A and B are shown apart, each in its own frame.
Chain A
Amino acid sequence: METEKLAELRLPNFWAAQNTKSRTQPVISLQFHPRDIGTLLVGYPEGAAVFSFKQNKALHLFHYHVPRGAPGGDGKTGAMSVDRNPKLIHSTWHPTGQFVLTSHEDGSMVIWDTKTGRKILARTLTDTNVDKEGAGATTFGNAGAGDQRSPIAKIAWCANQDPDDTAILVAGGTSSLLPMKGLTLMELGRSPNYATSSWPIIESHFAEPKKQRVLPTPPQVEVVDFCLIPRKSPWFAGAHDPIAVVAILSSGEITTLSFPSGYPIAPNNQLPISMSFLHPFATLLSHCAVDRTRWLGMSENRQAGPKLLNGGSEPLPSLRHHEQRNVILSAHADGTVRLWDAGVDDEIENTKVSQADVSRAVGRLDNVRITHMSLASTSGELAVGTASGELVVFRWARNNNPGREGPAADVNMPGRLTNVTSRVDPSLIEGFQPFTLVNRQNGPCTALCVSDVGFVAAGFEGGAIVIIDLRGPAIIFDSTTQELLSQADRRRSGPGKSPYATAIQFSVMTLDGESYSSILLHVGTNSGHVITIKILPAQGGRYTVTPAGSTTCAGTVKLIHPQHANSLTAAHARPQAVAGLRDGFKVDGVLIVVTENEARIFRPTSAKGAHKTFDNALCHSAAVVKYQERGLALLGLFGDGTAKAFSVPGLREITSLRIDGMLDVKRFQDAVVTERGDIIGWTGPSEIAQINIWGLPPSRSVFLGITSFLQRSSFNTLFDNSHSFATTRN
């Protein structure tokens, strides 16, 4: 490894020369002159210095002084009786290098002329001439106690295409009482011609910006840092003709805004998936193995600005692609659900992210917390349940009126289906569109399942179970666990709160003692009951729903897996299976149920079956995993940090592996196990890991992601460009 060499150049402390009393001064900001590489702006707490390499001396020293009687940046009345020298926190050049801006800890921003070294104006975001005695509108300074300016976190002096047309972007510096801290953009417009303009004209250029506004960021959080996204050039300190700004918030999240308009930009298909975990925080994870052909058709089309990122080059595509796409659903704090293919060590043909706007569909912008998500693998129907009790169904469709806000939708009617198709995001052209919504008003949604055959079932904390037939759409069943459980079962579950659904699954199989198969719905509860409900076709294309009975297990139900009794395939309600019912096709099936405390395999509805109790730790998440069409195992994640595999149907423990080094055990409940043998779980607040239990090699698409990273030619053209500043730089 090479070691960087320390060059001979060392710059002295300019302030030490000027003020012998000053102690060693830290250099808190450094910036090259935007048009002359031989000039440097150095910021010290006491002030800024312009240093010329050619003349090897400091050309100007900018020292900000607030005399007695002047309000200063913070306008504190108590401090007005003394002279102040507010400490500098940042200094930056005007894009042409004609002016310099220094920002200070009291919230002042001071503009200096670099030709004469003269101070042009001292201002804050709201007031001007804050360094003049008695001058300046001090509306802010007279505000009540407790009203303070938040410190200026960062300032960028942005250039338009033409570097004479400028704007100043400030993070912080606003009143702490404002709910929206945000970013403030002062659009100064074209700089006055220095040679022909009088001082008052130059002063008013900075005192009265053409436009000043706040680019909205989420309320109650501050912008800690931001990064401008310039269109083409890296010059002007990364602030040349920006198209967007990415801001880091004090909450740890990020937000992206268009520049200069300040419209929020959704991260999907603009920023990498890893960044979307913070944009805003991902709160919940789900998974669906989607058929490849279905997923290839799910390529979202949404109106969006130009692509921000297209660098790097893809590795040579792998020739394999699996027929079942590993689609991850992530729910975010702003009430959106994003769906994307995590890949299976193969080529990801559809790398796009699709988004379902749940908060729009619910008709409420705030307070939409998603508790459950379910995607149907072949029909592409998506259901989302919220903490406020709503159940929203989305369908993949084309928007008939893109770009226009739909007509006002009906008001959500409690307990009834509301058509929400008009609540589609106007920018969506093709993608997940809200279809129907029901608010059962029975507490948060606790379990949810969409079948591939047009039914959605959901359970709520109050005990309600709702089944919707999407063909109507119509609610075909609305009951509660109390009603479904027999008297004896109810007594067993104890007095007080009624049990609620924790796992829901559709299947096609033959019930014990019947001579035909039917579509079944299995509902597992927190009290360990597994209720089976029959869905039978009736006259006129309708369906009738009849409860068929229940089985009792121990502990909260985590998984219900319908399984063919004679083959390795699952007995989910798939279109082929349902179509076969008409021809008297029979499915001999069993249910594999996993609760916190035990695993049980039985024939529904009420056979006792076989069970195994988990002795040492609680099971938090489980699935039946398949090994290359050769075998099945039950894989569970346990509270002691292990993943345990059990044989089917013997329920003999095959192996127990520690995975607590790979995943956060505390979040095992939120982890997902897939049929392919992937464990997808959290490693931290905003990172998930995909672990394969069969030891597949790491995915190449990510680790060999960059083969020829730099487009060298584009750099050379940039240097050859006879752009005005490029030539002056030499």
Chain B
Amino acid sequence: MTHLLRAKQSGIQGDFSESLNSTLFAPTLLNHFGVNSQLTRIAYDPVQSLLAVGTRSSQFGNGRVYVFGGGRIQLNFDLPRKNAGVKWMSFCADRLVVLDDKGDLIIFALVERRMQSTYSPPGSVLSVACDPTLDFVLLGLQNGMNRNTSVLCIKLTLDPR
């Protein structure tokens, strides 16, 4: 009953909260602005005029890839593996090729706005070469599967152009 007494003391006659009840309160996330964790890589594609940034995994969040266009256009991809961060990243035509720091190669399809595929190479990858005209990606390995393999070639399933 204290709240009735308070209403009297306050100097307000009516009850402004009459129509409110606890079910109306449902905190909903509308938007995020900024980047969730420390930035590791930036990539730019002049043909599509898009910018991509990748973050590392930290206490503030898992590794994530942000793709930005003009104005407020934005697209986020979370890395599929837990606690993985972006180690290397490049646009490759309508794909975004990402190498995470756990050694996985992840391909995001930008038109479809989804992760297209992941690939776990045998051994850790130290360098990547790709080209918008090619349908394969070369991976430079830490030590390869054996002494005779240092560069692997991964065929990408690209749409026929």
Contact = CB atoms under 8 A, between A and B. Distances in A.
A285 B128 CA distance: 40
Contacts of A729: 133
A14 B144 CA distance: 13
* Chain A interface bracket (under 10, 10 to 19, 20 to 34, 35 or more): 35 or more
Contacts, number: 388
Interface in A350-408: 351
Interface in B34-56: 34-51, 53
A246 interface: yes
Interface string A679-711: 100011111111111111111011001101111
A2 B10 contact: no
Interface stretch (A70-78, A108-116, A228-236): A228-236
A650 interface: yes
B69 A705 contact: yes
Interface stretch (A98-106, A424-432, A467-475, A604-612): A604-612
Given A4-B154, A30-B140, A231-B46, A610 B17 contact: no
Contacts of A610: 5-10
Contact of A687 (B2, B36, B49, B119): B36
Contacts of A8: 153
A602 B72 CA distance: 44
B144 A13 contact: yes
A5 B12 CA distance: 72
Interface string B118-137: 11000000111101111010
Which of B45, B68, B90, B143 has the most chain A CB atoms inside 10 A of its CB? B68
A254 B61 contact: no
Nearest to A599: B6
Interface string A270-305: 011111011000100000000000000000000000
A313 interface: yes
Interface string B82-95: 00000000110110
B74 A272 contact: yes
A37 B17 contact: no
Interface in A1-56: 1-14, 16, 24-32, 37, 40, 42-44
A307 B16 CA distance: 49
B31 A633 contact: no
Main secondary structure of the interface of B (DSSP, over half): mixed
Interface in B110-160: 110-111, 113, 115-119, 126-129, 131-134, 136, 138-144, 147-157
A238 B133 CA distance: 14
Contacts of A328: 33
Contacts of A9: 152-153
* Chain B interface bracket (under 10, 10 to 19, 20 to 34, 35 or more): 35 or more
Contact of A233 (B4, B46, B111, B147): B46
A662 B70 contact: no
A424 B66 CA distance: 34
Nearest to B114: A1
Interface string A242-257: 0000101000101000
A603 B47 CA distance: 63
Contacts of A690: 29-33
Contact of A13 (B14, B33, B126, B150): B150
A351 B71 contact: yes
Interface stretch (A126-134, A166-174, A194-202, A713-721): A713-721
A687 to B, nearest CB: 4
A590 interface: yes
B16 to A, nearest CB: 4
Nearest to A243: B46
B8 to A, nearest CB: 8
A609 B11 contact: yes
B156 to A, nearest CB: 6
Given A225-B42, A685-B60, A7 B136 contact: yes
B42 A705 contact: no
Interface string A644-688: 011111111011010100100000000000000011000111111
Contacts of B34: 274, 277-278, 282, 684, 686-688
Contact of A679 (B27, B128, B139): B27
A277 B39 CA distance: 11
11 contacts: A5-B155, A16-B148, A228-B44, A230-B46, A248-B41, A274-B68, A631-B17, A650-B7, A651-B6, A715-B94, A719-B133
Given A311-B45, A645-B20, A687-B32, 17 more contacts: A4-B117, A5-B154, A12-B150, A40-B138, A230-B44, A311-B70, A311-B73, A612-B2, A631-B19, A649-B10, A650-B6, A654-B17, A654-B25, A657-B27, A706-B69, A715-B132, A718-B47
Interface of A: 1-14, 16, 24-32, 37, 40, 42-44, 225-234, 238, 246, 248, 252, 254, 271-275, 277-278, 282, 307-314, 328, 342-343, 345, 348, 351, 563, 565-566, 568, 590, 601-603, 607-612, 627, 630-633, 643, 645-652, 654-655, 657, 659, 662, 678-679, 683-699, 701-702, 705-706, 708-712, 714-715, 718-719, 729
